[in-house]
Each structure stands twice: as structure tokens, then as C-alpha cells.
Amino acid sequence: MRLFGVPETFKEDIRSEVIRICSETYPEAKNKYSDVVDTVHRLGRRGDNTKPCGIIMQFTSRVIRDALWKTAKKSQFLKDNNLRFVEDLTALDRERRKSLWPKVREARAAGKTAYYIGARAFIEGAEITS
């Protein structure tokens, strides 16, 4: 999973910051994050962009990761702090989503429900293909 919007600091303890954000987003697992958040690091090089570099994280528990992901979609804490979690997709999945985006955008503009699940796109519950 990736996390975007966390400001960069000179001597940051990014793992502790990620655990704090996860605890605010999904407090039911607050005492478990120190064990289930495995690796955490920034993506890219410091100072290359005007926006802070994203963070990639790995979990040892799929159950807690999925619960955090589900809760994050509607989290007021994340909205208030301009933070967002995103799936870490493979390059092939990102290409597939990119190729399906025009159809998804067109459906949304027409007032239809259109969304992605991983690399798959759906309009009104029916999967679409390129």
C-alpha cells in the first residue's frame, strides 16, 4: 500500500509517523500496528518535487491491512490532513487502468457508477474491457 501527503522532515522517523496515521485511521488495531507494519520507506529522492514523496509500506497481516484500506476510503482524519492511501499496483496493472480510464471517465460524466477494483474496471456493476 502507498501513502501520499505526509510532509517530509529532515530527520524523520517515517515508520512511527505511518503507525500514528494508521492508528488514527483505523484505531481498532492501534496496539497491533507496531507488529504488523513491516517495512516503510519513501519513494523517490528528497527535494526532487514540490510535493512530498510518497511512502510505500508492507504489512505482515493481510486482515489488518484490508481493514485499514476499507476504513481509509471514508476516513475524515485523512481528508482533514490531505492524506490518502492507494493500492500499490504493478506496472502492468497501472497500464491496464490507464487504458480503461477514458471509458470510466465517460461513464462518470454520464452519471453512472464507475470504479476500479485492482486493475479491473466496472460500470454499473458490469466489468468492462478495453
Contacts of residue 123, defined as CB under 8 A and 6 or more positions apart, other chains included, come to 103, 104, 107, 112, 113, 114
For residue 35, give the CATH number of its domain: 3.30.70.1820
Number of domains the chain is built from: 2
User: Are 7 and 81 within 8 A, CB to CB?
Assistant: no
Model pTM score: 0.75
> pLDDT in tens for each of the 130 residues of the chain?
999 999 888 788 899 999 999 999 999 999 999 999 999 999 877 666 678 889 999 999 999 999 999 999 999 999 999 999 988 888 898 899 899 999 999 999 999 999 888 888 999 989 988 6
Domain shared by 81 and 20, yes or no: yes
Domain shared by 14 and 53, yes or no: yes
